[in-house]
Amino acid sequence: MDRARAARTIIAGLLGLIEALAVAGVLYLGAAATGSIAFGPSMTAMAGRRVTIFVVDNGYHIDLVLPTIDPSKDWRSLLDASPIATPGRNAPYVAFGWGSRTAYAEVGALTDLTVGAMLRALAFDRTVMHVLPVARVRADGANVRAVGIAAPLYAAMTARIDASFARDAEGRVQPLAGATQGYGDAYFAAVGAFSPVRTCNVWAGEMLRAGGVPVGDWPPFSAPLMKGL
């Protein structure tokens, strides 16, 4: 009798846990749908000089592709800080992404994707900035959006991106030695922690809002963010 009662207690506990996880999942998706809705007027229609950037979606992650050189910001000194990225300093564009150090820079193959790695990636993991010199952007691609930003707002956005790089006591960015996907890209230590609440796409949304682009306050997934552009 005691064993049967214990078994029923365990089963009830497991069912309760499953129910709680299901409710949490529904609430998360509902919050994501609401948080991805853009409110307020667009500031991209301001008069004056405009800078075109590209928002690129690989299916789950957003990259922001910016001009390498602009009167508001010259990214070549950043590229020069990494021996991996330096050869691409003359590329016309640079792509920026932010994310979990474990998932982004350390999981190179499916064999690296262990339960421990997934838990570290979700549990307030350290973060990195991914920087990739880009020779050409297919602006007509289904996964690409071109966005024109007024110069003052572009300066504000690049300042936010620049502030996402962690720096040492002397103010220098910190490239991760040898970390690359093999395309002339480089990883740098970043500011902030990754979690299900602050994902790579939430970071991208923050940067876009700094540039006056009307995106939702909390877009954890890439597809709704792209749909609103």
For the chain (229 residues), the mean pLDDT of every run of 10, in chain order, is 46 38 43 50 66 94 96 96 95 95 63 50 81 93 93 96 97 94 94 88 94 87 87
Query: What is the three-class DSSP state of 140?
Result: coil
Q: Where are the domains of the chain?
A: 36-227
CA-CA-CA-CA torsion sign (96, 101, 104, 105): positive
Query: What is the reported pLDDT for 104?
Result: 73
Look at the pTM and tell me if it is higher than 0.75: yes
The alpha carbon of 100 is separated from its chain's Cα centroid by a whole number of angstroms, namely 9
Query: What is the reported pLDDT for 6?
Result: 46
Query: What is the reported pLDDT for 3?
Result: 54
In angstroms, rounded to a whole number, what is the distance separating the alpha carbons of residues 223 and 58?
10
196 contacts 218 by C-beta, under 8 angstroms: no
Residues 6+ apart with CB under 8 A from 154: 51, 53, 70, 72, 73, 211
131 contacts 95 by C-beta, under 8 angstroms: yes
Query: What is the reported pLDDT for 102?
Result: 82
Query: What is the reported pLDDT for 18?
Result: 41
Query: What is the reported pLDDT for 20?
Result: 37
135 contacts 164 by C-beta, under 8 angstroms: no
Query: What is the reported pLDDT for 81?
Result: 96
Amino acid at the residue 85: A
Query: What is the reported pLDDT for 28?
Result: 41
Query: What is the reported pLDDT for 106?
Result: 64
Query: What is the three-class DSSP state of 107?
Result: coil
Tokens, residue 211: 């540039």
In angstroms, rounded to a whole number, what is the distance separating the alpha carbons of residues 129 and 103?
12
Query: What is the three-class DSSP state of 37?
Result: coil
- Would you state the torsion angle of the CA atoms of residues 212, 213, 218, 220, taken in this order, to the nearest 10 degrees? -140
Q: In which residue are the tokens 């973060």 written? A: 127
Could you give phi then psi for residue 90, rounded to 5 degrees? -95, 5
Which residue in 140, 146, 149, 133 sits closest to 184, CA to CA?
133
Query: What is the reported pLDDT for 223?
Result: 87
Query: What is the reported pLDDT for 15?
Result: 36
In angstroms, rounded to a whole number, what is the distance separating the alpha carbons of residues 122 and 124?
6
Query: What is the reported pLDDT for 45?
Result: 57
Q: What is the DSSP letter of 66?
A: E
